[in-house]
């Protein structure tokens, strides 16, 4: 049994404060197990008073922590008394006034460089003269603040969240919503709605494109977000090895299910040139993502090498330069043509 299944089993053993068990009532959802043993899940505290919500939160944390292999638990609390029951999510208006194209960046797995690609795709679109926004929707591991060198919380003006402008890109991140280490409390039936609100209610102004860095994986949150936001296209990031590709295939299938066009696959961390001797090796294999894209009949957008410069630029909160920037300029051009920008 996977760690995720064990967590679901543990939750099924907890009584819902109103009726049934936490899993039956739909109060607990969107379970994500990260490789480092962190478990993320969404817990709706709808209809509970503060005390009951806190007791439930403590109980869930304690039970999940008891599952072997679990090192940390990150709960996202949502509350909305007016919410429809689980499974009958209220339809959300998806055409966002002022934003011409929504481009989702997704991956089946975490750690494949999805955020690095999302940020550099946004920079490249901005270099091409587009008005671009970048929304970091990765609730479990928001990394856009680091990638763009943003510190501090998001400002609110006139009741609207204000994205920060960096290198020609307007950015907003889940990481700008909370203090690190604190549970995120959102008003909304599910975390996916919270993210939909960040798209619809933040002060983006007029944008040609909003690039959305989705959480990794293909769980409820990703599926609901894809359904609600109806992006104009999705870019899938994968490393070349088989294990990552299996998950990338799942991500492609998920977008197929909700009729979101897959704009293409980007192979990241392909080929490593040793800085000392120049020898090129392939720690994660080579060409796997391209072959897979061919098999699935989706475009292959490009290969980003595993390079120290990529990691350094990312950590320094800077856009890539030189050859790597040129590579993203080319990827951005393909994306612009396919979505009609």
Ligand X SMILES: Nc1ncnc2c1ncn2[C@@H]1O[C@H](COP(=O)(O)OP(=O)(O)O)[C@@H](O)[C@H]1O
> In the bound complex, what is the minimum distance in angstroms from residue 114's beta carbon to Mg ion?
5
Q: Is 56 left (phi over 0), alpha (psi -120 to 50) or beta?
A: alpha
DSSP string, 40-89: EEEEE-TT--HHHHHHHHHHHHHHHHTSTT--EEEEEEEE-TTPPPTT-P
Residue 96 carries which DSSP code?
A: P
Contact call for residue 314 and ligand X (CB under 6 A): yes
Contact call for residue 110 and ligand X (CB under 6 A): yes
> In the bound complex, what is the minimum distance in angstroms from residue 117's beta carbon to ligand X?
7
As a dihedral over the C-alpha atoms of residue 16, residue 194, residue 185, residue 40, rounded to 10 degrees, the angle is: 70
Contact call for residue 219 and ligand X (CB under 6 A): no
Binding residue (CB under 6 A) for ligand X from 139, 144, 269, 327: 269
Contact call for residue 235 and ligand X (CB under 6 A): no
Contact call for residue 78 and ligand X (CB under 6 A): no
- The strand pair at 28-33 and 38-44 is best described as antiparallel
Strand segments, DSSP code E, in the chain are: 28-33, 38-44, 72-79, 99-106, 132-136, 155-157, 160-162, 164-166, 169-173, 184-187, 207-213, 233-238, 262-273, 280-281, 300-306
Phi, psi dihedrals of residue 59, rounded to the nearest 5°: -65, -45
233 binds, among ligand X, Mg ion, none (CB under 5 to 8 A by kind): none
Of 13-21, 86-94, 103-111, 226-234: span binding ligand X (CB under 6 A): 103-111
Q: Are 40 and 76 in contact (CB under 8 A)?
A: yes
Of 28-36, 60-68, 70-78, 307-315: span binding ligand X (CB under 6 A): 307-315
> In the bound complex, what is the minimum distance in angstroms from residue 40's beta carbon to ligand X?
13
User: What whole-number distance in Å separates Cα of residue 151 and Cα of residue 145?
Assistant: 6
- Binders in 263-282 for Mg ion, by CB under 5 A: none
107 binds, among Mg ion, ligand X, none (CB under 5 to 8 A by kind): ligand X
Q: How far is CA 228 from CA 51, 221, 304, in A?
A: 32, 10, 30
SS3 243: helix
Which one, 56 or 306, has the nearer CB to ligand X? 306
Q: Are 222 and 96 in contact (CB under 8 A)?
A: no
As a dihedral over the C-alpha atoms of residue 235, residue 241, residue 243, residue 246, rounded to 10 degrees, the angle is: 40
Residue 170 carries which DSSP code?
A: E
Contact call for residue 114 and ligand X (CB under 6 A): yes
5 binds, among Mg ion, ligand X, none (CB under 5 to 8 A by kind): none
Contact call for residue 77 and ligand X (CB under 6 A): no
Contact call for residue 238 and Mg ion (CB under 5 A): no
Binding residue (CB under 5 A) for Mg ion from 115, 130, 238, 268: 115
Binding residue (CB under 6 A) for ligand X from 25, 44, 116, 222: 116
Binding residue (CB under 6 A) for ligand X from 29, 32, 75, 112: 112
> Pattern of binders to ligand X over 169-208, x per CB under 6 A?
----------------------------------------
**Which residue in the shown chain puts its C-beta closest to ligand X?**
113
For residue 211, give the nearest of 314, 88, 329, 103 by alpha carbon.
Answer: 103
Contact call for residue 143 and Mg ion (CB under 5 A): yes
Contacting residues toward Mg ion, per CB under 5 A: 115, 138, 143
Contacting residues toward ligand X, per CB under 6 A: 107, 110-116, 141, 143, 216, 268-269, 304, 306-307, 310-311, 314-315
């Amino acid at each position: 049994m996977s760690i995720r299944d064990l967590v679901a089993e543990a939750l099924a053993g907890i009584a819902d404060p109103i009726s049934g068990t936490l899993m039956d009532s739909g109060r607990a959802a969107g379970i994500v197990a990260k490789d480092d043993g962190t478990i993320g899940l969404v817990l709706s505290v709808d209809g509970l008073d503060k005390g009951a919500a806190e007791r439930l939160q403590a109980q869930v944390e304690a039970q999940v922590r008891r599952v072997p292999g679990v090192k940390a638990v990150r709960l996202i609390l949502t509350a909305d008394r007016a919410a429809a029951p689980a499974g009958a999510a209220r339809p959300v208006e998806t055409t966002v006034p002022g934003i011409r194209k929504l481009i989702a960046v997704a991956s089946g797995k975490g750690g494949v460089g999805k955020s690095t690609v999302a940020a550099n795709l946004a920079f490249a679109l901005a270099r091409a003269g587009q008005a671009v926004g970048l929304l970091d929707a990765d609730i479990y591991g928001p990394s856009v603040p680091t990638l763009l060198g943003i510190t501090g919380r998001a400002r609110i003006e006139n009741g609207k969240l204000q994205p920060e402008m960096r290198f020609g890109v307007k950015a907003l991140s889940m990481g700008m919503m909370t203090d690190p280490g604190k549970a995120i409390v959102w008003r909304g039936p599910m975390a996916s709605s919270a993210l939909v609100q960040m798209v619809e209610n933040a002060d983006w102004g007029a944008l040609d494109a909003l690039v959305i860095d989705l959480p990794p994986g293909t769980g409820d949150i990703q599926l609901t977000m894809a359904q609600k936001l109806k992006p104009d296209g999705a870019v899938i990031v994968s490393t070349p090895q088989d294990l990552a590709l299996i998950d990338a295939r799942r991500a492609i299938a998920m977008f197929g299910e909700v009729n979101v066009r897959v704009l293409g696959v980007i192979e990241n961390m392909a080929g490593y040139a040793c800085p000392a001797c120049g020898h090129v090796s392939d720690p994660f294999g080579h060409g796997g993502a391209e072959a897979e894209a061919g098999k699935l009949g989706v475009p292959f957008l490009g290969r980003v090498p595993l390079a120290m410069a990529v990691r350094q630029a990312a950590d320094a909160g800077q856009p890539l330069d030189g050859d790597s920037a040129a590579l993203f300029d080319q990827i951005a051009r393909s994306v612009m043509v396919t979505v009609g920008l």
